Structure 1
């Protein structure tokens, strides 16, 4: 089960996240998302757990809990939506004369 964790302290490490979630079951991966340009953490992460039941238990116990002085939000991750390239380049979508 893939879990989305938000409102993380920029000082939170992947090992700290792994430790918090492993109290509820087997963690298969932990990934803190970083800014592409600066490399600094963006304040959210994804945690993958081996069993869905363990993930549900982790979500219910860790959502709105405190980690490194921040109240974190924990929820099941949703699939990534396709990005519409036309919305980025709406200028190019106008007819040229």
Structure 2
């Protein structure tokens, strides 16, 4: 199961997520989403746990917990909705 984790401190790294979630079971991956222009954390990330029961327990226990001084939100990740393509340019012309 993929878990969406938000409201992360800019100083949290993937190893921190791995450490917190691995207390509840096997973590196959943990990633922090980085802004490609600033190279800084966007304040959210994803954790993948193969066992759904372990992932649900981790979500229940860690949602609302504090990591690096910030109260995080953890819930099951939902597939990204496809929207209109973005060009990266302002299309006012």
TM > 0.5 fold call = yes
Unaligned runs of 5+ in 1: 93-97
- State the TM-score, normalized to the length of structure 1: 0.87
Structure 2 unaligned segments of length 5 or more: list them.
Answer: none
Q: Could you state the TM-score of these two structures normalised by the residue count of structure 2?
A: 0.90
Alpha-carbon distance in 2 for matches of 1:85, 1:46: 23
Q: Distance in 2 between matches of 1:75 and 1:13?
A: 19
Aligned match of 2:50: 50
| Inter-partner Cα distance in structure 2 for 1:84 and 1:13 | 31
Question: Displacement, 1:12?
Answer: 0.5
Alignment coverage as a number of residue pairs = 91
Deviation at 1:36, TM superposition (A): 1.1
Partner of 2:31: 31
